[in-house]
Amino acid sequence: MVLQKRLDYGFSGYQVPVVPRASRSARGRGPVQKKACGKNLHHIVGININGKQGDEEESINDHHREKRSCNLNSFARVPGLQVNHGHQSCMLKEFLPTHENCCLNISSVGSKTCDKSEGICFAETSSRVVGNSSCLGVLSEGRGLDIPEKKEEDGLSTRRNERIHHVIGSLGGLMETDQRFDSLKTYVKVPLLEDCMNLGSFPRGSAGKKVVSKDDDENFVRCTQLSTITEGCVTQPFMRDQRIKKVSASKRTSDFKGTSPFGNDGNCNRRDNFFHERSERMYPFKKRKFFNQSPSSTSDRGFQYEDILKSSDGRVDDDNYGAAIAASSSTAGRQSCRRSQDCNVKLSIKSFRVPELFIEIPETATIGSLKRTVMQAVTSILGDELHVGILLQGKKVRDDSKTLIQTGISQDEKRQRLGFMLEPRCTQSSPPQYNEDSSFLSTDSSLQSSRLQLGVYNASREPPQIKVESCVGGNLSVVPSLADTSTDNTNAKCRALVAVPSISMKALAMVPFHRKSRNPDFVQRRIRRPFSVSEVEALVQAVEKLGTGRWRDVKLRAFDNAKHRTYVDLKDKWKTLVHTARISPQQRRGEPVPQELLDRVLAGHAYWSQQQSIKAV
DNA sequence: TTTAGGG
DNA sequence: CCCTAAA
């Protein structure tokens, strides 16, 4: 069983680092993968119940619906959980060193069982509930942890401690909890199993899983396992900042004598501007062009998250992808295996499947040369750029330190779904400097220019030409985007991202872009970063003064610090603004631009168009 | 490199 | 946002 929780960070134009949930949606009941415009990303978490990992295809909704009335007598127990609720994040580990089995107790329900020797039972609630519930407290060994009370009117607690929800107790209590929370339009959902749980079965030493959760509009609670993110890959900011400092002033500027009705300082007497960088153009890649490229990868030009999911994890989830495993077991029972160090797990790998290869070969080539070509491609990627990935029930197992027991591989039923795959090795690089404070928000342009790549190209051989593409499976990234000129809500969103540095930074520390990739054909589209109102304001003001057609000056004037806004972007934005201003408000999409601004856009556009025509004459 | 304009 | 001809 998998608890699933939909994340909605509410970011605008930000990508949240996630490991996508397995694309296989169980019997069509699973949450639909939305087009992820930086939010509403789906995650999954595997919860061990009764020592078994649940069926991935099982819907928590259905399960809950079906089983909630049962006599509950089991726990979902996940040690070392991190619970992130929305913008808040708190590592349970902060409590664990001294309170190893602290739990959040719902005292009004009266279930407070702390089993010190066992793993931590886990349940989650929506943050709303927690924010409103004064009855929540954190207990450790029956004693409350020192967590101050808090009062907030909005019910959305920002007190981080309240974001930790650990429920240890009888499921009878959880049942009541559920009902109680139902009345609050929220849920506490714990995987429910009718059979009794073996309390001693959960390995204590297993690595902590991180659970990111946040209630969505429907108060639908899912969990997210982000432990795999730690091996996620994100590109190094490889968009080189091609700054060219120009000492000489722009010739265009010096003879610009236009007068703008919108302001007097339109004349660029700001020579200092031209000591700044001139070009911010960030087109490090050429668009990948492949004859067999999936059309979907370019169909949504707004955002490619879903494409990434499809191209990476979707493949992972493909039964045909991983190596088939014939698991012969010497099981005399799981329990005996656990007790015995010598209990070996026998696996027989039938075959590996090599990651996707792209080969270009002339049609006049012979079969023999085709074989050689394929062989060359295969051997080249097998050379040193692949490593083995482990798939268990469609999900990657990334924690190399886990034992087979801990991952469940030693179990028969799991082993049936154990898979191996070859995947490109991620070249690690040092993470970008990061401060949890606002410095992250304002200055680190390297983050802003981080790029994500889906796969890896190896060098081409010739002739015939070989292009090898392999997929970085399941690794997604965060690319925090920060409009330097923007304020208010944008920054709030930024901070929200900062609030979960353990996620974003880990993701950012990874490099999905294969360093050895020398193929310049592989290019990732920049992430979409909608203009905020304040950015629009700045743009309009600059254009009013400088006019259309001097986008570099506009950039320097109003967006000099917004590294991710190129003058082309500004030109494009102005174009869309003009279009937006001309259409009816009902037809407009995205964050509404104040009509006042749109009016100014029209006025400015009309004026400068006129000026251009006059100048032409 | 920048501008301009189509996609 | 991307792409690119043209300046």
Measured CA A567 to C1' B6 distance, in angstroms: 17
A598's enclosing H/E stretch is: helix A595-616
Indicate if CB(A301) is under 7 A from strand B.
yes
Measured CA A610 to C1' C6 distance, in angstroms: 23
Domain match, A452 and A318 both: yes
Q: What is the pLDDT of residue A423?
A: 63
* Residue A19 within a domain: no
Residue A121 CB contacts under 8 Å (≥ 6 apart), including other chains = A75, A76, A77, A103, A115, A166, A167, A168, A169, A190
The 10 Å Cβ neighbour count of residue A379 is 9
Last residue of a domain, which of A475, A509, A543? A509
Measured CA A287 to C1' C3 distance, in angstroms: 9
- Report d(CA A615, CA A610) in Å as an integer: 8
Tell me the three state secondary structure of residue A550. Answer: coil
The three-state DSSP-derived secondary structure of A25-60 is CHHHCCCCCCCCCCCCEECCEECEECCEECCCCCCH
Which amino acid, A118?
E
Residue A195 CB contacts under 8 Å (≥ 6 apart), including other chains = A50, A73, A74
Domain match, A318 and A434 both: yes
The bridge status of strand A357-359 relative to strand A466-471 is antiparallel
User: By residue range, what is the domain housing residue A450?
Assistant: 308-509
Last residue of a domain, which of A459, A479, A509? A509
Give the start-end residues of each E strand in A381-487. 386-392, 395-397, 418-424, 455-457, 466-471
> Which residues of chain A are modeled with pLDDT < 70?
1-343, 350-358, 360, 378-387, 394, 412-417, 419-522
Domain match, A489 and A382 both: yes
Which nucleotide across the nucleic acid strands is nearest to A564, CA versus C1'? Answer: C1
Indicate if CB(A552) is under 7 A from strand B.
yes
* Residue A21 within a domain: no
* Residue A123 within a domain: yes
Indicate if CB(A567) is under 7 A from strand B.
yes
Residue the block writes with tokens 């609670």: A221
Q: Which nucleotides of B are covered by protein (CB under 7 A)?
A: 1-7
Interval A442-454: pLDDT, tens: 222 222 222 222 2
Measured CA A593 to C1' C1 distance, in angstroms: 19
Which nucleotide across the nucleic acid strands is nearest to A13, CA versus C1'? Answer: C1
Measured CA A28 to C1' B7 distance, in angstroms: 36
Q: What is the pLDDT of residue A73?
A: 19
- Report d(CA A181, CA A158) in Å as an integer: 19
Region of residue A29 (phi > 0: left; psi between -120 and 50: alpha; otherwise: beta): alpha
Domain match, A472 and A597 both: no
Tell me the three state secondary structure of residue A225. Answer: strand
The backbone torsions φ and ψ at residue A266, rounded to the nearest 5 degrees and listed phi first, read -65, -30
Domain match, A94 and A191 both: yes
Give A190: exposed, middle or buried? Use CB within 10 Å, 0-12, 13-18, 19+: buried
Domain match, A257 and A116 both: no
Which residue has the closest alpha carbon to B1 C1'?
A: A279
Measured CA A379 to C1' C3 distance, in angstroms: 35
Measured CA A455 to C1' B3 distance, in angstroms: 34
- Residue A520: strand pairing partners: none
Indicate if CB(A281) is under 7 A from strand B.
yes
* Residue A540 within a domain: yes
Measured CA A550 to C1' C7 distance, in angstroms: 14
Which nucleotide across the nucleic acid strands is nearest to A283, CA versus C1'? Answer: C2
Which residue has the closest alpha carbon to C2 C1'?
A: A525
Residue A83 CB contacts under 8 Å (≥ 6 apart), including other chains = A90, A92, A124, A163, A164, A165, A211, A212, A213
Interval A215-242: pLDDT, tens: 222 221 222 222 222 222 222 222 323 3
Indicate if CB(A609) is under 7 A from strand B.
no
Domain match, A430 and A326 both: yes
Indicate if CB(A565) is under 7 A from strand B.
no
* Residue A480 within a domain: yes
Sign for the CA dihedral angle at A183, A187, A188, A193 comes to positive
User: Could you give the maximum distance between any two Cα atoms of chain A, in Å?
Assistant: 93
Residues with CB under 7 A from strand C: A 13, 283, 285-287, 301, 481, 523, 525-529, 564, 568-569, 572, 575-576
* Residue A234 within a domain: no
Q: What is the pLDDT of residue A383?
A: 58
* Residue A7 within a domain: no
Domain match, A122 and A59 both: yes
What tokens does A481 get?
């985007």
Which nucleotide across the nucleic acid strands is nearest to A243, CA versus C1'? Answer: B1
Tell me the CB-side half-sphere exposure of residue A444, using CA atoms within 13 A. 22
* Residue A27 within a domain: no
Q: Which nucleotides of C are covered by protein (CB under 7 A)?
A: 1-4
Residue A164 CB contacts under 8 Å (≥ 6 apart), including other chains = A81, A83, A90, A92, A95, A104, A138
The backbone torsions φ and ψ at residue A335, rounded to the nearest 5 degrees and listed phi first, read -60, -40
Indicate if CB(A407) is under 7 A from strand B.
no
Domain match, A504 and A539 both: no
Indicate if CB(A274) is under 7 A from strand B.
no
Domains held by chain A: number: 3
Domain match, A482 and A576 both: no
| Contact predicate A55/A62, CB 8 Å | no
Indicate if CB(A26) is under 7 A from strand B.
no
Domain match, A258 and A184 both: no
Which residue has the closest alpha carbon to B4 C1'?
A: A549
Last residue of a domain, which of A476, A509, A542? A509
Domain match, A97 and A141 both: yes
Which nucleotide across the nucleic acid strands is nearest to A528, CA versus C1'? Answer: C1
Tell me the three state secondary structure of residue A211. Answer: strand
Q: What is the CATH number of the domain that holds A561?
A: 1.10.246.220
Which nucleotide across the nucleic acid strands is nearest to A302, CA versus C1'? Answer: C1
Indicate if CB(A551) is under 7 A from strand B.
yes
